[in-house]
Amino acid sequence: MDDRVITASTKSDRARWRALGVFTTIYLLAGFIGMCVAPLAPFIQDELGLSRAELGLFVSMLYMGSIFTGYLAGWLSDRWSIHKTLVIGLTVEAVLIGGVWQVSFFPAMLALFFMAGLGYGAVNPVTSKGVMIWFPPDRRATAMAIKQMGFTAGGMLASVALPVLAESAGWRWSVLASSVLVLTCGAACYLAYPAAYEGGRAMASAATVKRQTSKNAWTGVVVFWSIIGLFFAALQGAGTAYMAVFMVERFSYSAVAAGVFLAVAQGSGALGRLLWGWASDRWFKDNRKTEIVVIGFIAAAMSVLWGLLPQNTPHFFIGVLAGIFGFTAIGYNAVFLTLVGEAAGPEKAGQATGLAITIGYLGIIAGPPVFGMIADKAGDYSLSWMAYGVALALANCFALIYFRKK
């Protein structure tokens, strides 16, 4: 590992933050198009007559496709050009989801989302790899948080803009417009990436190497935390997929108003990723796992509370809960990826985050449809919210016991 390129020069700093800007923007675009179904769920459900469980399959199929490319994309990013891998993945995702605007056959729509997931699966591990190699350890979690904010910012923008467009032009035109926008901005990101500045390829220092877990041990550590992350991912996936529909059914909000609450959760998730990442670099540092457990318990409590809310809950209180839920259940992600990336070290960060994301995606795949099936059986979403909250709390109890013993 060459650490001679670690400098404080203006050129290196400019290139570093420019690269982070590209990573963040690409992840924002991937989140914007990938999560377009959540704010459009009331429109899609009304037109196609889907059950709650069927509605959750859109998100599940996207992440199921991602499983097949998550680790492969991480492996390629360890050996190939980062920005090329990213733009190819984003293009595949945007083109295939955009194709939904002309399809009415439900299985065909799911197939398009599955294939779109093959492209989406490249974005998270490769951007995470980019952060690991461009930033030193004392700024890494904050940089990762900024990058991860892109996804929630994309979801927030989709939650606000797409229902409004769907009200006037229909949800299909909303999807098509999203696809065109993502493709255009993705091309701009490709041109903006500072690929010529190869110094960013070796931003790991000797201290980083010393902190790196041994080659024989990192896989087990990553797998353990990835299983814990699976429960986080299940709640995040189900919560974002069903929050708008839940708001319409439980509190009788309009689809547009429900999208606003979803946007609050997404926006708080973006802020949470930034602040949790900053706190991780400033206070937790080598003890990021403690921070993950704290976040997990708060998110679990919020999920249980959603299931207990009465129909006459004040609007302000619902907004506050949506914010806290997003701040934790969505905001955990940057600290989690930094934790697993550091377990392997910058040289293997692409593979480690790819492996962790692949396992975590199992939670997102199973999370929404199971959440919906529980709601179908129970008649509303109360039991679903409480069951997911309890499951996440138990997972964090297990993690707490495990790493205390270690």
Domain ranges of the chain: 10-405
| Distance separating alpha carbons of residues 249 and 228, to the nearest angstrom | 31
Question: Per residue in 250-269, pLDDT tens?
Answer: 888 888 888 888 889 988 88
Q: C-alpha distances in angstroms, 262 versus 38, 213, 297, 324?
A: 9, 39, 21, 12
Q: What is the pLDDT of residue 197?
A: 58
| Distance separating alpha carbons of residues 314 and 330, to the nearest angstrom | 23
Question: Per residue in 381-395, pLDDT tens?
Answer: 899 999 999 999 999
| Distance separating alpha carbons of residues 279 and 208, to the nearest angstrom | 19
The DSSP element (H or E) to which 249 belongs, if any, is helix 218-251
CB 163 within 8 A of CB 38: no
| Distance separating alpha carbons of residues 81 and 286, to the nearest angstrom | 30
Is pLDDT larger for residue 250 or for residue 404?
250
pTM strictly above 0.85: no
Among 388, 364, 383, 384, which residue's Cα sits nearest to residue 35? 364
Among 383, 245, 236, 252, which residue's Cα sits nearest to residue 315? 252
pLDDT band at 169 (very low <50, low <70, confident <90, very high): confident
pLDDT exceeds cutoff 70 at 213: no
What value, to the nearest 5°, has the Cα angle with vertex 153 and ends 223 and 320? 90
Q: What is the pLDDT of residue 361?
A: 76
Percentages of the chain per state (helix, strand, coil), in multiples of 5: 85, 0, 15
| Distance separating alpha carbons of residues 230 and 396, to the nearest angstrom | 11
Q: Picking from 247-256, 297-306, 310-319, which range would have the lowest pLDDT averaged per residue?
A: 247-256
Among 289, 336, 288, 347, which residue's Cα sits nearest to residue 129? 347
Q: What is the pLDDT of residue 286?
A: 60
| Distance separating alpha carbons of residues 266 and 117, to the nearest angstrom | 20
The class (CATH top level) of 10-405 is mainly alpha
Q: What is the mean pLDDT of residues 122-140?
A: 82
The DSSP element (H or E) to which 363 belongs, if any, is helix 349-378
pLDDT band at 8 (very low <50, low <70, confident <90, very high): very low
Chain-wide mean pLDDT for the chain?
82
| Distance separating alpha carbons of residues 395 and 401, to the nearest angstrom | 10
Q: Provide the token pair at 283.
A: 């206070």
Question: Per residue in 36-93, pLDDT tens?
Answer: 887 888 888 888 888 877 887 887 788 888 888 867 776 776 666 788 888 889 999 9
Residue type, 331: G
| Distance separating alpha carbons of residues 38 and 44, to the nearest angstrom | 10
Residues 78-111: b if buried by 16+ CB within 10 A, e if exposed? beeebbebbbbbbbbbbbbbbbbbeeeeeeebbe
Q: What is the pLDDT of residue 285?
A: 64
CB 236 within 8 A of CB 364: yes
| Distance separating alpha carbons of residues 324 and 243, to the nearest angstrom | 14
What value, to the nearest 5°, has the Cα angle with vertex 313 and ends 307 and 319? 85
Who's near 112: CB < 8 A, 6+ residues apart? 96, 97, 99, 100, 103
Q: What is the pLDDT of residue 196?
A: 61
Q: C-alpha distances in angstroms, 300 versus 147, 294, 307, 358?
A: 24, 10, 11, 22
